[in-house]
Amino acid sequence: MSDVCWGSDMDRRREEARWKRGQDQRDERENRSAFYSFSSEWADFNIQVKRTAALDIKECRHSREEITIGLSRLVGRQVSIAQIDAMLAESKPHRFPAEWIPAWVRVTGSKRLLDLLCAASGYWLADDVDVDLANMARAEILRDRHGSKASDLRARVERALR
């Protein structure tokens, strides 16, 4: 597994998500299934999930034992280090259970796995800055919309008063 600069990797995933959404929209316009344009990339998605989860463990402040304890509590059944190692080994066919994802995010403190899943689906996670920017843009659009209505009304009243 190679070391990856996650910030640039996340930016790359967001760009890929935008591209995939564009592909989905083109497929819809051409009456094709949404998975038509990029279905071949799913072949190595399991490896991407394994590498992402392995990076989460590598950078987590908790030990593997602490991670298994946290996962066991949150998923409601015993999770062992051997299970985690088998799921993360690229040479083994084991897969990461989707029902563990919320617990994984809480225990490791990393949203990388969610980001990977969202990007693969053609979406991306919004961080606090993204949410603030979206809210700011929405507020500015509403202000401009209401401002133009007010200026239209002002002009109408001025014409009526002449």
CA distances from 8 to 5, 13, 128 (A): 6, 9, 18
Check whether 13 has a pLDDT greater than 80: no
Question: Which pLDDT score is estimated for 3?
Answer: 46
pLDDT tens figures, 82-106: 999 999 999 998 899 999 999 999 9
Here the tokens at position 62 are 């908790």
Which sign does the torsion angle of CA 98, 96, 47, 109 carry?
A: positive
> In whole angstroms, what separates CA 11 from the centre of its chain?
11
Q: Higher confidence at residue 53 or residue 8?
A: 53
* Residue 44 scores a pLDDT above 80: yes
- % the chain with pLDDT above 90: 38
Distance CA 80, CA 17 (A): 34
pLDDT at 21 over 80: no
pLDDT, residue 131, reads: 85
Asked if pLDDT for residue 50 goes beyond 70, the answer is yes
pLDDT grade for 4, boundaries at 50, 70 and 90: very low
Domain definitions of the chain by residue range: 6-125, 126-162
The residue-averaged pLDDT of 39-51 equals: 77
pLDDT in the model for residue 43: 61
**Angle at CA 6, nearest 5°, toward 88 and 17?**
90
Q: Cα–Cα distances in Å, from 27 out to 66, 98, 124, 134?
A: 45, 27, 20, 27
| Cβ contacts of 75 within 8 Å, gap of 6 or more | 99, 100, 103
Residue identified by tokens 């969610």 is 114
Q: Whole-model pTM? A: 0.63
Q: In this model, does residue 6 exceed pLDDT 70?
A: no
Structure tokens that stand for 101 in this block: 């994802």
Task: State the average pLDDT for the chain.
Answer: 82
Confidence of residue 40 (pLDDT cuts 50, 70, 90): low
Rounded mean pLDDT, 123-148? 85
Residue pair 32/134 in contact (Cβ under 8 Å)? The answer is: no
Residue 52 is predicted with a pLDDT of: 93
